[in-house]
Structure 1
Amino acid sequence: ASGAGGMVGSQTLDLEAERKRPDEAGIIRLQAMKTGALIRFACEAGAIVAGAAPADRETLAEFGSAIGLAFQLADDLLDLTADAEQMGKATKKDAAAGKATLAALHGTDWAREQLHGLIDQAHALLEPYGEQADMLKAAATFVATRNS
């Protein structure tokens, strides 16, 4: 998650994207390798440490993938729509740098719709776990609804 197939690799792709704008598949790959890989592993790691069955490990890894992409979409939306005071940091950086994001490619309405779909997917993955998964469901909702 942190090496060539994760954060390090995504940084390389991110630098390349400054020279040659990626298509939608390239954006998705970059984002999945970026924060998405770390979030996916963090979700699966809890299952590993708990000695969970392989099917549960995979379910939690899928949950992590869904909220990883949701995190990135939310971040891209905030960069497009929030102001610097609200965020506590500069905004509109991606557009200024010419970075390709799914939100910029498809628009904010599309990105919000996808974001809600990802959170619905994440919650559905956790349904078999009942109340034990309430904290993870809350975390997924927070990822999508944060305002900074």
Structure 2
Amino acid sequence: MTPAFDDWMKTVQAASERDLAAYLPGPDVVPTKLHQAMRYALLGGGKRVRPLLVYAAGALFGADEALLSRAAAAVEMIHAYSLVHDDMPCMDDDELRRGKPTVHVAYDEATALLVGDALQSQAFLVLSEAAPCERLVPMLRLLAHASGSAGMCGGQAIDLDSVGLSLTLEQLEQMHQLKTGALLRASVVLGALAGKTLDAAETAALNTYARAIGLAFQVVDDVLDATADSATLGKTAGKDAADNKPTYVSILGLEPSRALAQQLRLDAHAALAPFGDKALRLRELADLIVQRKA
């Protein structure tokens, strides 16, 4: 019998938390301050959307659990490093993340910089130490591409350069396909690659799904930033508007943005049709991304 979605999600989240703790240096390992700050940044918080996507995509092809564990941990480490750097004064300058002080506030700016650097390196170390298979190098290449200037970092650069500017909807979509979407797509494809080498049709379907949920994730983020409070979000609410950043809400308006998120959810479901019942968890995650309240 298939577990209920909430039970499955809690199981994966708990497993990811244990794995992340195990894949990090211990808090008593020198340099202790850096390792303690890395654990502060990574553990005990977050929805673990990316690990959930890794495991859900792995279910399509009966993926190896040990490889899924490392892929999920690696992509979450990249995500956490991006948040640490994103919160720093030279970037978005925020003092709250996941309901607690950001790393540069809890420690200091130099430590926060090193935490991000070290988490990025640790991600590739963790994935590279998986049992050898013909798909491991493509998985490492995929994660590197999604993390760099053609992916997450490139999107962040565009975001910083766009403050105070009027972007078209197409320009905003391009930015978020890189900043948020690239790592979400990597999560999906990494999970699938943990099971098999993908053919062209499988790759196209998963890319279409990932594109839809990547945009939906950002659209919902923009809606929540405009409507929720800081206690609910676990980060500073209304910051995009205060910083004069272009968002889906500022370009489309609130209700059209909500409608767009719902259409993207339907697009994600449609992309999964070739996989049938095996894609249940991916469909449920698309629903979670669009319907979340924080």
SS in structure 2 of the partner of residue 18 of structure 1: coil
Residue 204 (structure 2) pairs with residue 58 (structure 1): yes
Match of 1:38 among 183, 205, 210: 183
CA distance in 2 between counterparts of 1:140 and 1:46 reads 16
TM-score computed with the length of structure 2 as normaliser:
0.49
Residue 102 of structure 1 pairs with residue 248 of structure 2: yes
| Higher radius of gyration, 1 or 2 | 2
SS at match of 2:272: helix
2:158 counterpart of 1:10:
no
- The amino acid across from 1:117 in the alignment is Q
Q: Percent identity?
A: 36
Counterpart of 2:269 in structure 1: which amino acid? Answer: H
Higher relative contact order (CA 8 A, sep 6+): 1
Q: Is the 8 A contact 2:167 2:246 kept in 1?
A: yes
What are the equivalent positions in structure 2 for 1:91-130 lying under 5 Å apart? 91-130=237-276
Q: How far 1:128 moved relative to its partner? A: 2.2
Give the 3-state SS of the residue equivalent to 1:34 in structure 2. Answer: helix
1:29 is displaced (CA, Å) by 1.0
The structure carrying a bigger helix percent of its residues is 1
- Once the two structures are superposed, the pairs formed by residues 68-107 of structure 1 within 5 Å of their partners are 68-107=214-253
Amino acid at match of 1:60: L
* Counterpart amino acid of residue 162 in structure 2: A
Aligned CA-pair RMSD: 1.3
Whether contact under 8 Å (1:79, 1:93) holds in the other structure is yes
Aligned residue identity for 2:232? Q
TM-score (norm 1): 0.94
Instruction: Please list every run of 5 or more consecutive structure 2 residues that lacks an aligned counterpart in the other structure.
Output: 1-145
Please tell me whether the aligned partners of residues 47 and 57 of structure 1 are also in contact (alpha carbons under 8 angstroms).
no
Which whole-Å CA distance do the structure 1 matches of 2:270 and 2:169 have between them?
Answer: 26
User: Is the 8 Å Cα contact of residues 41 and 61 (structure 1) preserved in structure 2?
Assistant: no
